[in-house]
Structure 1
Amino acid sequence: MPRGFHFGRVRKRSYTCQYFRLSAIMFKPLLETPNGHYVIHSDQLSKDHKFFELIDLGVKPKFIQFIIDGKKFQIQLVQDNRSASNKLYLTCPICQTKRQHIYAVKKAYACRECLGLNTNLSKNMI
């Protein structure tokens, strides 16, 4: 029996592998594109989570705006110019911190810490 396996127990923790993850690297080409409406092609996302608008509010970084159940979620694209790679970060719409990944939940996008997700679930336990 694998370690951590308890027959008949209901798992109560939520893990990052259960949710669709938006990575910052997938939005890097959008820094050079014009503002407008775009689509994320994934079967795991709902209709509200797929469509977003790229907007520029007059400041240097651009924003990705999702409208989910009539509520606007703005995720800022922040580029780190401290290294030669110019790493891109997404800003969590809830806690406003720079993150590499944002997760899609029922009615929002948020980072792992805001959602209380755990990352230590091994692949063989799924």
Structure 2
Amino acid sequence: MSVAMLSGCASGSGIPAIHQQAQEEDRWPGDQALLSDSGMAVDTSRLLASHNDLDYYVTTSEDQKMACLFKFEHADPSEGAMGGCGGLGGTDFIVEFSTPEGHTALVRNDAEIRNYESEGWQQIHENIFIKGP
């Protein structure tokens, strides 16, 4: 991701949704083995956004040092997920992953990001940016 990012005051995980009470829609839609293989706790799953027939879920490790972002087909989440994981340190950028359909990035909500539109990125949630292929 070549988007210019400037740090603001960093506190917590930078992903407010993981600190909120889980709702029914936050329930992990995929195979729980995917989470355990990633070292993530199933009860930390939160639906962050639905966009263009895709649902974006974030999960964290028990110690909240790592976070993963996964995207599922809204119509058939059993088809599997694409995603990536990264550290929840003080950096603005947590993880980026690519698929044939494009790029997806998980960022801190307090990140100050510039030039993302000119580089083709679209913000679909305070923590998620997407970009076409």
Q: TM-score, normalised by structure 1?
A: 0.36
> For the pair shown, which has the larger CA radius of gyration, 1 or 2?
1
Quick check: which one's strand share is greater? 2
Q: TM-score, normalised by structure 2?
A: 0.35
